[in-house]
Amino acid sequence: MAHIIDGKKIALCTRNQIKKEAEEFKKLGINPTLSVVLVGDNRASKSYVNAKHKACLENGINSIKIELPENTTEEELLLEINKLNNDDSINGILIQLPLPKHINSDTVLEKISPIKDVDGFHPVNIGKLSVGKADLIPCTPLGILELIKSTNINIEGKNALVIGRSNIVGKPIANLLIHENATVTIAHSKTINLKNLIANSDIIVSCVGIAHFLGDNYSYKEDSLIIDVGNNYKNDKLVGDVDFDFVKEKVKYISPVPGGVGPMTITMLMRNTLTALRKQIK
Ligand code: NAP
C-alpha cells in the first residue's frame, strides 16, 4: 500500500512556522496584513473567504475582509484595489474568484500591485514563474510542490505528468516542476495517449476536476507518486480525481482528498502574505 501524503499534518507544521515568523514581525512593530475582497453573494466564495480569514487570525496574520455588493461596478472595484495598493498597512491583496459576470477578472487581477499579489495571478508574477524567478507563486501549485517535496523523492530527471492545463493549477505546477528539473508533460482533454503517459510517469499531478478520473482504467508505475488536486462531489461526498482505494494499492505515494492539497492552499496564501511583506520591506 502507498505511503499517504498527509496534507493536514504538513500544513499544520508550515502554519506553526508561519505563526513564529508573524510573531517576529510583530516584535518589530509590523503587523502582517492580508486583505480579501469578495464581490457578491456566492455562497461557496463566502465560505472560502471565511476559511481564509479564520486561518489568518489563528496564525498571527491580520485579515481584513472587504465585502462589496453584487452590483459593484468594475470601476468601483478597481478604485477599491487602488486604495489597497496605496495603503502601506496592507501587505497582501486577494480578490476572491469568480467575480460577477459584468466584471472582467483579467482587468481586475492586473490592477493588483504585483508585490501585493498573494494569489500570484498577476501577469508579472506569472511571467516571473515561467522564467524561474518567481517569489509570489499561485497557492495551490506551491502547496502541491511542498507535498511532493515532503516525500524526499528526488524530482530531478523524473517523468512528471500534469493532467490539466488551467492557469491557476496545471500550468504553474508544470512550470515549478520544470524548474525542479523534472521532465514535464502536460495533458489535457485533447491528449490522445494518456494511457501511455500515465504508465510511464514517476510523478502524476491530476487537476482535471472529474470524480475518480484515475482508477482501474489505467495502469501506474509501481514506484510512482500521485497528487490529487481534484475537488469533486460524488453522492454529496467530497472526492478527488483519483479513485483513492484502488490507486493507493498501485503506487508508492498518494495524496488523499480531503486532507491532501486542500489544507495546503490556504497555508500557502499565508506564506505568500509574509513573502509579500518581506518584498515590501526591501
Ligand atoms: P479547469 O480550469 O476546469 O481545468 C481542467 C483541466 O482538465 C483542463 O485543462 C482540461 O483540458 C483538463 N481535462 C478535462 N477533461 C480531461 C480529460 N478527459 N483528459 C485530460 N484532461 C482533461 O480546472 P482547475 O481550475 O484547474 O481545477 C481542477 C480541479 O482542481 C477542480 O476539481 C478544482 O476544484 C480543483 N482545485 C482544487 C484546489 C484546492 O485547493 N484543493 C484549488 C484549485 C482547484 P482542456 O484545457 O483541454 O479543457
- For residue 188, which atom of ligand 1 is closest to its CA? 21
Residue 89 Cα to ligand 1 midpoint, Å, equals: 35
Coarse DSSP helix, strand, coil percentages of the chain, rounded to the nearest 5 percent: 45, 15, 40
Q: State yes or no: pLDDT of 85 exceeds 90.
A: yes
When pLDDT is cut at 50, 70 and 90, the band that residue 277 belongs to is very high
Output the pLDDT for position 65. 97
Asked if residues 242 and 209 have their Cβ atoms less than 8 Å apart, the reply is: no
Q: pLDDT digits over 48-62, tens only?
A: 999 999 999 999 999
pTM: 0.97
Residue 90 Cα to ligand 1 midpoint, Å, equals: 32
If you average pLDDT over residues 2-14, what whole number do you get? 98
Q: Cα separation of 174 and 258, whole Å?
A: 22
Helices 139-150/261-281 angle, 10° precision = 110
- For residue 260, which atom of ligand 1 is closest to its CA? 41
Q: What is the residue whose three cell numbers read 498597512?
A: 89
If you average pLDDT over residues 217-222, what whole number do you get? 98
Q: Cα separation of 251 and 83, whole Å?
A: 50
Output the pLDDT for position 281. 94
Where in the sequence numbering do the catalytic residues fall? 52, 96, 119
Q: Cα separation of 106 and 66, whole Å?
A: 20
Output the pLDDT for position 200. 98
Output the pLDDT for position 58. 97
Q: Cα separation of 197 and 219, whole Å?
A: 10
If you average pLDDT over residues 147-169, what whole number do you get? 98
Distances, alpha carbon 251 to alpha carbons 41, 203, 221, 222, 242, in Å: 42, 10, 7, 5, 12
Q: Cα separation of 250 and 201, whole Å?
A: 13
| 93 phi-psi bin (left φ>0, alpha ψ -120 to 50, beta other) | beta
If you average pLDDT over residues 70-84, what whole number do you get? 98
End-to-end, the C-alpha distance of the chain in Å comes to 47
Q: What is the mean pLDDT of the chain?
A: 97
Q: SS3 letters for 32-82? A: CEEEEEEECCCHHHHHHHHHHHHHHHHCCCEEEEEEECCCCCHHHHHHHHH
Residue 241 Cα to ligand 1 midpoint, Å, equals: 9
Best mutation site among 167, 171, 190, 229 for ligand 1 pocket (most ligand atoms within 8 Å of CB): 229
- For residue 210, which atom of ligand 1 is closest to its CA? 32
Order of strands across the sheet that contains 62-68: 62-68, 33-39, 92-95
- Residue having the nearest C-alpha atom to atom 18 of ligand 1: 189
Q: pLDDT digits over 122-135, tens only?
A: 999 999 999 999 99
Q: Strands 253-254 and 225-228: what pairing?
A: parallel
Asked if residues 161 and 173 have their Cβ atoms less than 8 Å apart, the reply is: no
Q: Cα separation of 40 and 68, whole Å?
A: 6
Q: State yes or no: pLDDT of 282 exceeds 90.
A: no
Task: Tally Cβ neighbours within 10 Å of residue 66.
Answer: 18
Question: Which percentage of the chain shows pLDDT scores above 70?
Answer: 100
When pLDDT is cut at 50, 70 and 90, the band that residue 167 belongs to is very high
Output the pLDDT for position 229. 98
If you average pLDDT over residues 172-177, what whole number do you get? 98
Query: Which residues lie with the beta carbon below 6 Å from any ligand 1 atom?
Result: 140, 163-166, 168-170, 187-191, 207-209, 229-232, 261-262, 265
Residue 254 Cα to ligand 1 midpoint, Å, equals: 18
- Residue having the nearest C-alpha atom to atom 19 of ligand 1: 189
Taking Cα atoms as reference points, which of 213, 177, 182, 174 lies closest to residue 195?
213
